[in-house]
Chain A
Amino acid sequence: MSGNLRVRLASVAATVLLLSYFAAANCFSEQTRLASPLIPDAGIRLGLDLQGGIHWVVGVKLDEAVAHELEFQRSALVEQLTADAVTLGATSVVDGRLRIEMPAGADVAKLNAWTQDRGVLTPVPSTDGVLEFTLSERWKKEVRERGMMQVLEVLRRRIEDPIQGIPDSVVTRQGEDRILVQIPGGQIDRSRARDMLKVTGFLEFKIVRETAQSEELLRAKHPNGLPTDTKIAFERDKESQRVLSAFLVGVQPDLTGDYLEDARVGFDNRQRPIVTFQFNPQGGEIFQKLTGEHIGSQLAIVLDERVYSAPVIRSRIGSRGQIEGRFSSAEAADLAVVLRSGSLSLPVAIEEERVVGPGLGADSITAGIRATVASFVAVLGFILFYYRFSGVYAGIALVLNLTMLVGLMTLFGATLTLPGLGAFVLTIGMAVDANVLIFERIREELRAGKTPRGSIGAGFNKAFWAIADSNITTMATALVLYEYGTGPIKGFAVALAIGILTSVFAALAITRVLYDIYPGDRHVETLSI
């Protein structure tokens, strides 16, 4: 054995052994892997389409963040200019524009000075007597980005919450205005998960001014319409949605959940689940003052426009309180998480949903493995029959190829999806292509009268570019697919790309080394190919 061959054999063997080591990790259960210091901790991750689970793409309505910001700018502007004694007509925010009607002779210069000072509004052409502004591009981007980060943060805290959230769930940003939520396991209560996602979680405390059995009764007390700055809030039966009580409360909350420091599940003295909460020092002060001033009144606890309970304030309350609402303990736990995580400042909508039950995932794995085995047996049988002894080399290369494919996917932490299993099957068929090209070339050289040794060398050399070309183009499409595809298709692209790498290595390095071992430098009369 020459020194050169020894080096090559050693490096090929080292590569194969290392990747086999990672591939072998998949033979053990997770507990065994984690317990043993010798076995790699991670196995191939199964995609949600194989292990079952929920895949959500959630769209965040960032346009509303822009509208909120314009509204904020509008009120600031009105406040400032009124203070400066500038007469303004009606102001409004319509279609992403701030619209200001200017009566004739109004001090436009002052208004313009104000907006320029702010630097966040860009004037747009409009009709006479009306000024229109949009948010400047830079500020709009900033506002959208901020809205996105806030929503992402809140959803992370809710769904990924290690104790009360959903185990193993992953919340990631996807593109400019979408959030990808992945929840593995098929046993998730989808309605519950969806609630965690969609509930705004905006908690308000409002002093009740009047109360009645129904809206009609309440309105009957105010024949001339409701007092200014008040509205009606309802407490409803959980199942039938029937109104239990109607409350006349202020439009503006007296205190909001923004001041909450913590929220937990607790039990009242009849062992019914409740949610207890604690304000931060600042909120505690406001709460003490509020309750101190309204002893004997009812305090409505409103979550997302719905009254959960309206206890009578019996004494001044410090920084703690509780929400009762005929909860189940699971509901109370979810509500506590929602309150802890803060409220969603922007509405979200599920734009894409893929839910796979665990049974179907298992079926898919079985089918995928069946197809892999069938493909393997057919292709292996074919090359053994067709190329005889050389077919054995190709067969060894194929087996090691698949092992390395699994090993690399494990090493990279790649996710195996159902289309990814399809790529496995395809790889088996495509992997032997390189061997076929080499072997056919060797046969040709043998027919042309070359010695077996010379033919092998020529076969590998002349087939090299054809092999490179074909794999580079397939690799290019795999990369494009990875860039543009969604979850399962990305899994296909990854498996295909890695399969191409291992196939080329198997054909050019492994088979070559095998030929160098036998026949190698020996003088042989014939070559079985």
Chain B
Amino acid sequence: MPFELIPPNTNIDFIGKRYLCFFLSVAVILAGVIAIPVRGVRLGIDFAGGTEVQVRFAEGVPVEEGAIRKVVDDCGVVDASVVRFGELGATDYLIRFRAGAASKEPPESGSCPLSAENLKQLAAERLAAAGAEDGSNAQVQRLKLALGNKIGALEVQRVEFVGARVGSDLRRAALYSLGLSSLLILVYIGFRFSTRFAPGAVIALFHDVAITAGIFVIAGWQFDLTVLAALLTIMGYSLNDTIIIYDRIRENMTLHTKFDLGEVLNRSVNQTLSRTALTGGSTFMSCLALLFLGGPVVRPFAIAMSIGIVVGTFSSIYVAAPILLYLERRPGA
């Protein structure tokens, strides 16, 4: 006897419960839309431009976010955000500020904890006068020395600087890539399915991307390039379950001409339920592995993928299938 997650004769009335699911979907999407003006879309430095510095303090150095923030502030870097980064107990911190965030005052005269020795070193590296033209090198070097003086031994692990022009180019590239992917998938769906099925698949697809992106907005998480990669992957992947269910619906419609449409849809969803759950489940497992073990840098990607796969699996059942009730004309619909 094979092991079965979902018994073959399962018959859950998905179609009957469609209103509840529609309501939930619409509610989440609406919440996401409302959150756009309320919470604002937080763009990471890839898209907004700016600087991100990951510093790691030596073990045993007592570190506090507040203390770091004060040093950063004192050194004239305006509007910086400081967060702990990485695993629990890690001594990594991420300092993020806008591109070319100007110094409020020359660091020499300010309260920036730099010794005369440091200033001499900065001058020798010809950084004292370096402007925004030069990436963020000057600010990063200054912060590194100041934090080292005030808080304790540290290493700069990573510096990412994206200038305003590159940021806007990447924003445009992101929109183009979302647009082009949608177009390619639309063409493919149009080619593979009759015009009766295509709209349902498309709606399900946009539903998945909208909810995933919406949750990011609601939670106030940042959009960066890896999140974009996740959204595009979700677009390509979430169609899989829908295609399987649609194939079955098409098969059943010719097989059971006597049943009304709701019955056919329900039967098809139930018949394919185990593979929907298994394919989604195995990929979801991989995403969880990435989320918990993949390290902090890929975490935003893993979060987006995990959400997208769950939403995509459900949407193929409760969006893609029931929506055919409204697109198909058949007695009993």
Q: Which residues of A contact B (CB under 8 A)?
A: 49, 56-57, 59, 190-191, 194-195, 198, 238-241, 349-357, 359-360, 363-364, 367-368, 370-372, 374-375, 378-379, 382-383, 385-388, 418-419, 421-422, 425-426, 428-430, 432-433, 436-437, 440, 443-444, 447, 465-466, 469-470, 472-478, 480-481, 483-486, 488-489, 492-493, 496, 528-529
Counting from the closest, the 10 A-B pairs by CB-CB distance are A429-B286, A367-B295, A474-B236, A470-B240, A429-B283, A477-B236, A375-B289, A350-B135, A351-B163, A484-B177
20 contacting pairs across A/B (C-beta < 8 A): A191-B127, A195-B126, A350-B137, A351-B166, A353-B159, A359-B157, A360-B54, A360-B157, A364-B297, A418-B298, A419-B229, A426-B283, A429-B287, A430-B237, A443-B2, A470-B244, A473-B185, A476-B185, A477-B185, A484-B174
User: In the bound complex, do residue A374 and residue B289 qualify as a contact, i.e. CB atoms below 8 Å apart?
Assistant: yes
User: In the bound complex, do residue A447 and residue B8 qualify as a contact, i.e. CB atoms below 8 Å apart?
Assistant: yes
Within 8 A of A (CB), among B258-317: 271, 274-275, 278-279, 281-287, 289-290, 292-295, 297-298, 301-302, 305
In the bound complex, what is the Cα–Cα distance between A486 and B180 (angstroms)?
17
Residue of A241, A359, A430 with most partner-chain B CB within 10 A: A430
User: In the bound complex, do residue A191 and residue B137 qualify as a contact, i.e. CB atoms below 8 Å apart?
Assistant: yes
Residue of A241, A354, A359, A470 with most partner-chain B CB within 10 A: A470
A255 to chain B, nearest CB (A): 26
Q: Which of B13-21, B74-82, B117-125 is found at the contact surface with chain A?
A: B117-125
User: In the bound complex, do residue B284 and residue A429 qualify as a contact, i.e. CB atoms below 8 Å apart?
Assistant: yes
User: In the bound complex, do residue B181 and residue A480 qualify as a contact, i.e. CB atoms below 8 Å apart?
Assistant: yes
In the bound complex, what is the Cα–Cα distance between A477 and B233 (angstroms)?
6
In the bound complex, what is the Cα–Cα distance between A426 and B289 (angstroms)?
9
A356: B residues at CB distance < 8 A = 157-158
A447: B residues at CB distance < 8 A = 8
Partner of A485, one of B120, B229, B297, B302: B229
Q: Closest residue to B193 on the A side, CB-wise? A: A469
User: In the bound complex, do residue A375 and residue B285 qualify as a contact, i.e. CB atoms below 8 Å apart?
Assistant: yes
In the bound complex, what is the Cα–Cα distance between A191 and B156 (angstroms)?
14
User: In the bound complex, do residue B233 and residue A352 qualify as a contact, i.e. CB atoms below 8 Å apart?
Assistant: no
User: In the bound complex, do residue A476 and residue B226 qualify as a contact, i.e. CB atoms below 8 Å apart?
Assistant: no
Partner of B294, one of A371, A383, A443, A489: A371
Q: Closest residue to B251 on the A side, CB-wise? A: A462
In the bound complex, what is the Cα–Cα distance between A478 and B228 (angstroms)?
12
Say whether B206 faces chain A, with CB atoms less than 8 Å apart: no
User: In the bound complex, do residue B286 and residue A379 qualify as a contact, i.e. CB atoms below 8 Å apart?
Assistant: yes
With A477-B236, A484-B177 known as contacts, the answer to whether A419 contacts B301 (CB < 8 A) is: yes
User: In the bound complex, do residue B243 and residue A466 qualify as a contact, i.e. CB atoms below 8 Å apart?
Assistant: yes
Say whether B105 faces chain A, with CB atoms less than 8 Å apart: no
A423 to chain B, nearest CB (A): 9
Partner of A429, one of B46, B137, B285: B285
A374: B residues at CB distance < 8 A = 289, 292-293
Say whether B43 faces chain A, with CB atoms less than 8 Å apart: no
Q: Closest residue to A358 on the B side, CB-wise? A: B157
A241: B residues at CB distance < 8 A = 123, 128
In the bound complex, what is the Cα–Cα distance between A47 and B174 (angstroms)?
22
A466: B residues at CB distance < 8 A = 240, 243-244, 247
Partner of B166, one of A352, A360, A429: A352
In the bound complex, what is the Cα–Cα distance between A194 and B130 (angstroms)?
11
In the bound complex, what is the Cα–Cα distance between A340 and B156 (angstroms)?
33
Residue of B137, B229, B244 with most partner-chain A CB within 10 A: B229
Partner of B188, one of A418, A473, A496: A473
Say whether B170 faces chain A, with CB atoms less than 8 Å apart: yes
Within 8 A of A (CB), among B134-187: 134-137, 141, 155-163, 165-166, 170, 173-174, 176-177, 180-181, 184-185
Q: Closest residue to A447 on the B side, CB-wise? A: B8
Partner of B298, one of A56, A240, A422, A437: A422
A378: B residues at CB distance < 8 A = 285-286, 289
Partner of A349, one of B124, B134, B160, B192: B134
In the bound complex, what is the Cα–Cα distance between A384 and B298 (angstroms)?
29
